[in-house]
Structure 1
Amino acid sequence: MAVPIRPSCCSTTPRPGKEHPLKFLVGYRGRFLQCDAYQSYNALTEIERDGGPWRLVYCWTHVRRRFVKRFESDRSPIAEEMLRQIALLYQIEKTVRGQDAAVRLAARRENAAPIIAALKPWLEAQLSRIPQKSQLAEDIRYTLAHWPGLIRFLDDGTLELDTNPVENQIRPIALTRKNALFAGNEVGAENWAMLASLVATCKMSGVNPIDYIAATLRAILDGHPQSGIEDLMPWRYKQPSSLAA
């Protein structure tokens, strides 16, 4: 499985660096990290850990945005064709969305792998034909530089093509970014981030955040043992039948 990460999720301080995503990933034993091209993530692949180094899975949506901009600004036929190829990948994903990982992987290897196999040499050929200082050339170089992480979805059916699920989860936070300026200090920002993460986790688990927080605080006050902290996680919470009705 892969855990999606974003700079805004990993750091509540103004100082960028790998220590912040490392703090966020404490206890995570998976092999993959689904992320954008935030520079601090590259250093994570060098961390020695049980199970081997993490493998980065990059986001096709971030690649697509670049070529959308090129097509909208320049009407570039290269950008247009790149968008068409990416659309084909997403069409394949649409046919197997929600199915078992084995089914998704089989469909990807049968239908998406040939597209991927032809796409890289095509991009390299286009790069050789255009001005190397152009924005389009930069976009193609960005894509090729992240190629191993972009095609990792062909190796594991649990992986996604993009970070859209986590992007959608943090969108409400991004929309209230100005409010976060009044956190007061780093500790205040950390507390705000933890609460926002808790509320988002409740929503993902189909749990009413207010009911969950109230029940959890009551359990703590009633002496719930620290050794059983896992039982207080949102995904373990069961709403009382009287409220559920």
Structure 2
Amino acid sequence: MAHGLPLQHGPCGQDAQGGAGGTTGALVVDAYTGYNTVTVPTGRVRVGCWAHVRRKFFDALSKTPEAGTVLDSILALYRVEHEALKAGVVRTLAHRALRQQKSRPVLEALHAYLTQQQPLHLPKGPMGQAIAYALNQWDALCRFVEDERLPLDNNRSEGALRKAAVGRKNFLFVGHEAAGENLAGLYALVATCEVNGINPEEYLADVLLRVQTHPNSRLDELLPHEWKRLCAADSS
């Protein structure tokens, strides 16, 4: 899902090489190593997902009270995002300034706390694993402070994929491999319509007519976000 620059919120477990290979921008993901092939120096910049970090510490909370301190810090990061949303400055320079003023100190204090706590917990214990998970991708987790377009997590992508996961058994006998690829493409198209506030049925009804005469070299103009802009221009 693109926002501004070619940013992508990669869902956990998705085939990154098939979906983002050869592209540039930022990829918001968890620590899944399958994304290593596309987050290389000439590819996408890897951005950490705070929702995945939170889950690790939430799971450790029942056995390790210290995890509560980490959860409070993560909550503070999300409160800054809520403040930006309430002020109407999301993805603006004011949003970046707010993050640098309020989120950066939280990150610095949290890093110091995790570093201090790490030797106090068994490496294979819930808290030890949660701390290692966070510290091993710390640079990626902090990149949102420098770029106001980067979200704190990839929850939107995972939410979009959940529909596919629920229907997976229903589509077991989709027909053949090409039909499966077509269905995956349709899923992506509908999800992109939803992100851009477009009625998928209206979009497809219009584009399926346009595509018959639209030049192949300009097919990008029929992507949902471009189609929305085209419709707005036609109605003005």
CA offsets per residue over residues 176-228 of structure 1, 9 Å max, x none? 2222322344333211110111111222223222222222222233x322223
1:1-245 superposed matches below 5 A: 1=5, 2-6=7-11, 10-11=14-15, 19-21=17-19, 24-26=20-22, 28-30=23-25, 32-46=26-40, 48=42, 53-71=43-61, 73-74=62-63, 76-97=64-85, 98-99=88-89, 100-221=91-212, 223-237=213-227
SS across alignment from 1:33: strand
**TM-score, scaled relative to structure 1:** 0.81
Contact 2:59 2:126 (C-alpha < 8 Å) held by counterparts: no
- Give the drift of 1:135: 2.1
CA offsets per residue over residues 13-72 of structure 1, 9 Å max, x none? xxxxx6324xx355x442x21112221212323353xxxx4320010000001111111x
Amino acid at match of 2:8: V
SS across alignment from 1:131: coil
Amino acid at match of 1:233: L
- Give the drift of 1:240: 8.1
Structure 2 CA distance, aligned partners of 1:240 and 1:59?
A: 35
Contact 2:12 2:32 (C-alpha < 8 Å) held by counterparts: yes
SS across alignment from 2:76: helix
Give unmatched runs, 5+ long, in structure 2: none
Identity %: 34
Alpha-carbon RMSD across the aligned residues, in angstroms, is 2.4
SS across alignment from 1:128: helix
Structure 2 CA distance, aligned partners of 1:186 and 1:148?
A: 39
- Give the drift of 1:80: 1.1
Amino acid at match of 1:19: Q
Structure 2 CA distance, aligned partners of 1:7 and 1:137?
A: 22
Structure 1 CA distance, aligned partners of 2:111 and 2:105?
A: 11
Contact 1:207 1:237 (C-alpha < 8 Å) held by counterparts: no
Structure 2 CA distance, aligned partners of 1:169 and 1:191?
A: 17
Structure 2 CA distance, aligned partners of 1:82 and 1:145?
A: 16
Structure 1 CA distance, aligned partners of 2:34 and 2:101?
A: 34
